[in-house]
Structure 1
């Protein structure tokens, strides 16, 4: 059941929407490892301290190898949760199946492109420094082809005439329709 759940999450949802092969492998490997360790812990009846130690090890894993989004961290969490659910609830298959379906359904809906597909976030490096926020907003809207909802200047370099801006913007309906074709 765990294998079916992680394949659905990693291949059916994540990879089809985000196309990052490296994270697809990480989700499957992490889930499989968690499932194996939890299953072994339940069979061997290890001490509770070992379980806390496992979570301590998971807590120190730093996801630094590449830049990942909060959305991708959510997929990590659900991959871990699926491994735990299927490992712990192996003796109650209907409970495990129910929880797998709930977790996968929540991820399907929460990450569906039509739910929040019109808003985007992007880190933009401009080859100009704007001192007027209205001019900055107009420049960003022109370059991104959408309405700027929020922009936060994170870096200004007057020597090189560069501005780095974290932008949240909305894509017009006609551009979204093109993306769906």
Structure 2
């Protein structure tokens, strides 16, 4: 069990500290990532010692998956990392293969996550919410002028916009601007 847990923790450390933190520069969810992983690992490891069907194991995973619908304050990307931590904990706890198989599976998860998070394959699109005060440019016929004004004001290379709300009483609008990270 100790060796499996070391493989588990090294994989999660590389995933969270090496990829997640370097990409998003957030430390506030470290406790969540590591504690979920550790709890899942030990619960699954102990339940694996008891006779359990595959359906029961998936049911356990489903119970933890329901947490996604109870956590409105966490983004989809952060929740994806929680799921990755849960999956690594499950895989390392119940694997019937050798330690080399566990290392290979963890390495594949980490490499795939790294490739998907890097901008080598796909450009990263980011968005920001902007409260805009020039209500005349929000009109559909002025869309190009609006885009140019937003680019000038924000300094971002905006490629598309989404008008979320228009408030004629305050002469303002809420706009989401989308741009590619460099």
Whether TM exceeds 0.5 here: the answer is yes
Taking the aligned partners of 2:16 and 2:96, their CA distance within structure 1 comes to 21
Match of 1:51 in 2: 57
* Structure 1 range deviating more: 124-133 or 112-121: 112-121
SS at match of 2:130: strand
Taking the aligned partners of 1:89 and 1:49, their CA distance within structure 2 comes to 16
The alpha carbon displacement at 1:100 in A equals: 0.2
The alpha carbon displacement at 1:17 in A equals: 2.4
Matched, 1:11 2:17: yes
Match of 1:63 in 2: 71
Match of 2:113 in 1: 107
Does the CA-based 8 Å contact 1:120-1:170 persist in structure 2? yes
Superposed counterparts of 1:141-152, under 5 Å:
141-152=151-162
Change over 3 Å in CA distance of 1:26–1:90 after alignment to 2: farther
The CA RMSD over aligned residues, in Å, is 2.3
The alpha carbon displacement at 1:48 in A equals: 5.1
Aligned residues: 170
The alpha carbon displacement at 1:122 in A equals: 1.6
The alpha carbon displacement at 1:63 in A equals: 2.1
The alpha carbon displacement at 1:5 in A equals: 0.8
The alpha carbon displacement at 1:159 in A equals: 1.0
The alpha carbon displacement at 1:3 in A equals: 0.9
Matched, 1:162 2:172: yes
The alpha carbon displacement at 1:92 in A equals: 2.5
* Structure 1 range deviating more: 151-160 or 48-57: 48-57
Unaligned runs of 5+ in 1: 177-181
* Structure 1 range deviating more: 125-134 or 77-86: 125-134
Q: TM-score, normalised by structure 2?
A: 0.81
Unaligned runs of 5+ in 2: 1-6
Taking the aligned partners of 1:60 and 1:116, their CA distance within structure 2 comes to 29
Taking the aligned partners of 1:2 and 1:153, their CA distance within structure 2 comes to 44
The alpha carbon displacement at 1:153 in A equals: 0.8
Deviations 1:92-128 (A, max 9, x none): 2111110000001111121125655664322222233
Q: TM-score, normalised by structure 1?
A: 0.81
Q: 1:122 aligns with which of 128, 140, 147?
A: 128
Change over 3 Å in CA distance of 1:124–1:114 after alignment to 2: farther
Greater length-normalized contact order (CA 8 Å, ≥ 6 residues apart):
2
